[in-house]
Amino acid sequence: DNINFSVSAPGKIILMGEHSVLYSKKGIAAAISKRTYLHFKEHKQAHEQITFNLKNINGVNEWDFKSVYDLITSHKPLVVDSLKEFNLFTPELLNHDEFVNILRQFVIKKNVESGPKQKSMMCLFYVVVGMLWCTDVNITPFDIEISTDLTIGAGTGSSASFAVCSAAAMYHYIRLKAMQKHGVGEFNISYEMFKPFNVTLSQHYCGFTSQDKEIINKWAYCVEKVMHGTPSGLDNTVCTYGNTVLINMSDGSEEFRKFQMMDAMPPLRVLLINSGIERCSSDLIAKVADVYKLCPEAIDGVLQAMDTVALQFIKLLKEMKEQEERGEITNVYTKLEVLIDIQHCLLKSLSVSHKRLEEIVECCARAGLHAKLTGAGGGGFAFALVSPSIPEDVVDKTITTLYNAGFITDDIVANSEGVVLDIKFI
Amino acid sequence: DNINFSVSAPGKIILMGEHSVLYSKKGIAAAISKRTYLHFKEHKQAHEQITFNLKNINGVNEWDFKSVYDLITSHKPLVVDSLKEFNLFTPELLNHDEFVNILRQFVIKKNVESGPKQKSMMCLFYVVVGMLWCTDVNITPFDIEISTDLTIGAGTGSSASFAVCSAAAMYHYIRLKAMQKHGVGEFNISYEMFKPFNVTLSQHYCGFTSQDKEIINKWAYCVEKVMHGTPSGLDNTVCTYGNTVLINMSDGSEEFRKFQMMDAMPPLRVLLINSGIERCSSDLIAKVADVYKLCPEAIDGVLQAMDTVALQFIKLLKEMKEQEERGEITNVYTKLEVLIDIQHCLLKSLSVSHKRLEEIVECCARAGLHAKLTGAGGGGFAFALVSPSIPEDVVDKTITTLYNAGFITDDIVANSEGVVLDIKFI
């Protein structure tokens, strides 16, 4: 049978620490139940096209298989420094800029207009070409179809979940093709010039191990660089590992790590509310930098308070987890609500709120829901925590009230699953 | 000629540090150009009444001079502990509660209904009886007429300015009477049982020295206790000394003092805007205490940020002063505005703002003015800093816009003069 599978990856929201994480303060990000889905379908060798169908940006593109195959086979020396160090596990050794230039030339030749579609194609080719370079598998043409629940370019990790799905799909395809070639067992799947890379090949995969995710995350980060230039790596990490990711948070016992993946934080029901106001994250980051320059001590005071609030928030999530493990009804929601209120005001004090975001927060407050902006602010999204004590009709009414005020709300879950493999058809 | 003079004392606003000062954090209070005025007029001995005319609470009350005189002469042993330590400089040695009870009985006998009028009468008698106890001067009947620019009971120091005026008037009356008795020069004016207290008596006083103010402030604090139970002493200190008073701010070189009087901070033009929402300060203080109890670390983070912002604010005022002394145009307003914005958001994060206060802040922001709540919040007042760069017509339009939204605005000056003596008639 032809290879045929689906992967999906979550979007993300920032729970705590917008902007402050850029000043080494603690923050918390969470995967959400809105996801991006990728369906991969292999064709027989006779098929002459590779098809990328990006449903949400109306981006169907067919590519001549031969020319893609040539691209994969012809540019291997591009890899920087010692070829002998490179393999599927070390995409950071690629000469990223040169590689991206080659991909751009390739895509432009096909007359893909510049913009999101062109960038998406370059991203897909980054993993298709880059990951296949690393290996000795033989490929045939395939279709990739991608759709998403996420609003694109709105700060909820749409590009990272796209990147993670792409990397995960290509990784899964490679190990399936390697299995077809080598059979079941542990085999080196690296291309002969490169550093050996052993993978345990199997006929049936039920998902991605933690090493699989490390590979996926690394390639997704490269794709994010194609999309955003110098991403922090947070979004791809959250979209790969899911659940909760702590930022700049040392837990004392281990070495300081920029991101710390938590895999069992309790799910939080939240309303994700779109302010409908477009904003440019980098402008908002510059705005905070300007006010920081003007009043460094005062802004640092605010950032320090944000840090404290973020730390308390994660402590409460851990407490909630322990309470739930002991079968107790959790009592931390009231405190989480206080922290959400405070954090929103602290963000407002950095001048990154917006009239419409304030309207959302007030509208939620009138219903007893506690909301804060999420992401860079200045527009974009807010989220409201839905405590189990809030009656369902109050939630419904709030969503209606928000709708009547021009705000679209999604009733979602934060701290959701990361990248997953779905072997059934979509 | 009969003694005839006026004194006046300013109201106050909190510039920075509402609530946080109750948690040992730094704050700044300022005297404002809205004042309370007291006119004192002595009658000949033949007159049989002492008249208190509290114009703003429609509180005209006549008191039989003989009964007041008896009160003054009959209760001296009330003073606690060693009578030999007591004098005009040490009102803290009075048995406050017992004294207040006597005054309450005295006032109730006159059928003054309980409420603000009764309390005001008790306050006036506190200084009339208490201060005259200390001395050996002979008095005759007099009229006291008090009026104020301040909104009563709205957190702008109306009661403290009333207390300061009362204490200042009685102090001035005593030294004038002492001069009539002893002549010009340094004399002990204490009552014979008490500790000697030397005062330099003069025919012409042009105001109050720093020791005079210390006495006035001490008695005003006692009066504030009659009014409020356990006041912090901030309001009477600001209304006595004027200008700027720093709270919980050690300047490093000297011993820590709860209040630190600054006497030459530059005047700041502000719009004082009444939200029209009545609130109870103690309820708001309790609200913050509750949330502090719930999330101590997070709230402490906010309070710490408030502390930092307050410290920066006073540093900027000092910088402004130095710039003005060097004849330079000051450039600190933009920074002061940032700090005002931040401090308001920090207060909002303590849940002590109010919808109407937010409306004021937004309305000001639309005009380029930066405003924050002042006082306990939950209603009461906001102030907006008027930078010299704001055109006059913008200020006028803002006041009109605020008025149309139901807010009364006063165009005032903060960091104004403290208690002053005006020897001319009102």
Q: What is the ipTM of this complex?
A: 0.90
- For residues A66 and A178, give the distance between their C-alpha atoms in angstroms, rounded to a whole number: 21
Question: What is the length of chain B?
Answer: 426
Q: Are B125 and B70 in contact (CB under 8 A)?
A: no
Q: Which residue of A307, A308, A314, A343 to mutate against B (max B Cβ within 10 Å)? A: A308
Backbone CA torsion sign across B54, B58, B64, B70: negative
**Using the beta-carbon criterion (under 8 Å), do B338 and A297 form an inter-chain contact?**
no
Contacts of A348 in chain B (CB under 8 A): 345, 348
**Using the beta-carbon criterion (under 8 Å), do B345 and A341 form an inter-chain contact?**
no
Contacts of A299 in chain B (CB under 8 A): 342
Q: A116: helix, coil or strand?
A: helix
Q: Which residue of A343, A344, A346, A372 to mutate against B (max B Cβ within 10 Å)? A: A346
Determine contact: B295 vs chain A, CB below 8 A: yes
Contacts of A341 in chain B (CB under 8 A): 349, 351
State the burial class of residue B414 (Cβ atoms within 10 Å of its Cβ: 0-12, 13-18, 19+). buried
Q: Quick one: which H or E segment has residue A319?
A: helix A296-325
Q: Pick from A295, A342, A344: which is nearest to B298 by CB?
A: A342
- For residues A269 and A415, give the distance between their C-alpha atoms in angstroms, rounded to a whole number: 9
Determine contact: B363 vs chain A, CB below 8 A: no
Determine contact: B308 vs chain A, CB below 8 A: yes
Q: Pick from B291, B345, B358: which is nearest to A346 by CB?
A: B345
Rg of chain A on CA atoms, in Å: 22
Q: By CA distance, what is A291's nearest residue in B?
A: B338
Contacts of A311 in chain B (CB under 8 A): 297
Token pair in block for residue A222? 């490269």
Token pair in block for residue A322? 């322990």
**Using the beta-carbon criterion (under 8 Å), do A298 and B307 form an inter-chain contact?**
no
**Using the beta-carbon criterion (under 8 Å), do B301 and A305 form an inter-chain contact?**
yes
> CA-CA distances (angstroms) from residue A180 to A44, A187, A197, B96?
14, 12, 17, 95
Which pLDDT score is estimated for B139? 86
Token pair in block for residue B238? 């600001």
Strand partners for B30? B13, B244
Which pLDDT score is estimated for B142? 95
Determine contact: A371 vs chain B, CB below 8 A: no
Q: By CA distance, what is A306's nearest residue in B?
A: B301
Q: Pick from B295, B305, B358: which is nearest to A302 by CB?
A: B305
- For residues A372 and A380, give the distance between their C-alpha atoms in angstroms, rounded to a whole number: 11
Determine contact: A342 vs chain B, CB below 8 A: yes
Runs of H (alpha helix) within B183-280: 210-228, 234-241
**Using the beta-carbon criterion (under 8 Å), do A295 and B335 form an inter-chain contact?**
yes
Instruction: Name residue B55's amino acid.
Output: K
Distance from CA of A375 to the nearest CA of B (A): 19
Q: B375: helix, coil or strand?
A: coil
Per-residue pLDDT of chain A (426 residues; tens, 9 = 90+): 789 999 999 999 999 999 999 999 999 999 999 999 999 999 877 788 999 999 988 778 899 999 999 988 887 667 767 788 999 999 999 999 999 999 999 999 887 778 888 899 999 999 999 999 999 898 889 999 999 999 998 889 999 999 999 999 999 999 999 999 999 999 999 998 899 999 999 988 989 999 999 999 999 999 999 999 989 999 999 999 999 999 998 765 554 568 999 988 999 999 999 999 998 999 999 999 999 999 999 999 999 999 999 999 999 999 999 999 999 988 899 999 999 999 999 999 999 999 999 999 999 999 999 999 999 999 999 999 999 999 999 999 999 999 999 999 999 999 999 999 986 643
Instruction: Name residue B178's amino acid.
Output: A
- For residues B236 and B352, give the distance between their C-alpha atoms in angstroms, rounded to a whole number: 24
Q: Which residue of B291, B302, B316, B347 to mutate against A (max A Cβ within 10 Å)? A: B302
B43 Cβ contact partners less than 8 Å away, ≥ 6 residues apart: B2, B49, B140, B141, B142, B143
Contacts of B355 in chain A (CB under 8 A): 362
Q: Which domains does chain A have, with CATH numbers?
A: 4-248+417-422 (3.30.230.10), 263-414 (3.30.70.890)
Strand partners for B37? B8, B147
Token pair in block for residue B54? 């509290």
Q: Which residue of B333, B341, B345, B359 to mutate against A (max A Cβ within 10 Å)? A: B345
Q: Pick from A298, A334, A342: which is nearest to B308 by CB?
A: A298
For chains A and B, count residue pairs whose Cβ atoms are closer than 8 Å: 89
- Provide the CA B262 distance to its chain's centre, in angstroms: 15
| Listed residue (A86, A83, A97) closest to A126, CA to CA | A97
Q: B229: helix, coil or strand?
A: coil
Distance from CA of B345 to the nearest CA of A (A): 5
- For residues A305 and A295, give the distance between their C-alpha atoms in angstroms, rounded to a whole number: 16
Determine contact: B298 vs chain A, CB below 8 A: yes
B142 Cβ contact partners less than 8 Å away, ≥ 6 residues apart: B3, B40, B41, B42, B43, B50, B51, B173
Backbone CA torsion sign across A57, A58, A64, A65: positive
- For residues B123 and A136, give the distance between their C-alpha atoms in angstroms, rounded to a whole number: 95
State the burial class of residue A153 (Cβ atoms within 10 Å of its Cβ: 0-12, 13-18, 19+). middle
E strands in A242-297: 244-247, 259-262, 268-274
**Using the beta-carbon criterion (under 8 Å), do B312 and A335 form an inter-chain contact?**
no
Query: Which B-chain residues 145-164 have CB contacts (< 8 A) with chain A?
Result: none
Token pair in block for residue A394? 């109050």
A90 Cβ contact partners less than 8 Å away, ≥ 6 residues apart: A195, A218
| Listed residue (A420, A421, A412) closest to A13, CA to CA | A412
Backbone CA torsion sign across B99, B100, B105, B107: positive
A315 Cβ contact partners less than 8 Å away, ≥ 6 residues apart: none
pLDDT tens digits, B177-234: 999 999 999 999 999 889 999 999 998 898 999 999 999 999 999 999 999 998 999 9
Strand partners for A262? A244
Query: Phi/psi of residue A277, each to 5°?
Result: -100, 120
Query: Phi/psi of residue B75, each to 5°?
Result: -115, 20
